[in-house]
Amino acid sequence: MFGIVLASLIATYPIDVADCYDADTCTVTIHSTVAVQIIDTTVGVTVTIGPTKVRLCDIDAPERRGETLTIAKFSRSKLLEWIRAATRVELELPKGDVRDKYGRLLGWIIADGVNLNQRLVDEGLAQEYRIKCER
């Protein structure tokens, strides 16, 4: 049911980010308002989904183990800094309900209109990595 709901609504949702494990995996709560018609009255119903894990599309961030631990912590802290500084944080989802092999939703985090997935790459905090994300 979760995938059907997301696929039938708009592609971008306001979110609250609870935390990020590293710079390419975050735990979020997704919010959406849907119109529901009951007899001759239409009302807005807020739907909240989460917490759920999201794997950021198009990037691969350093892992939090071994020799990449220091850069992984720095990348994660920059991502969380950008998210916390934003006034509006959204999750853009690929077409349909796309998940990785671990069951995490795939998506892009957008903060005040800036694609943070791409910003991580632009600032050298993650590498480009193509996984099955289609806009």
pLDDT at 131 over 80: no
pLDDT at 1 over 60: no
Determine the pLDDT at residue 52. Answer: 93
pLDDT at 7 over 50: no
Domains of the chain and CATH, by start:
2-128 (2.40.50.90)
Tens digit of pLDDT for each residue in 9-59? 447 899 999 999 999 999 999 998 877 788 888 887 888 888 999 999 999
According to the 3-state scheme, what is the secondary structure of the chain?
CHHHHHHHCCCEEEEEEEEEEECCEEEEEEEEEEEEEECCEEEEEEEEEEEEEEEECCEECCCCCHHHHHHHHHHHHHHHHHHHHCCCEEEECCCCCCECCCCCEEEEEEECCEEHHHHHHHCCCCEECCCCCCC
Determine the pLDDT at residue 107. Answer: 93
Phi, psi torsion values for 120, nearest 5 degrees? -60, -40
pLDDT at 88 over 50: yes
For residues 22, 109, 2, 133, the Cα torsion angle rounded to the nearest 10 degrees is: -90
More confident residue, 66 or 108: 108
- Calculate mean pLDDT across residues 129-135: 71
More confident residue, 93 or 5: 93
> What is the rounded CA–CA span in Å between residue 60 and residue 117?
9
Tens digit of pLDDT for each residue in 89-113? 999 998 777 888 899 999 999 999 9
pLDDT at 64 over 90: no
Strand partners, 119: none
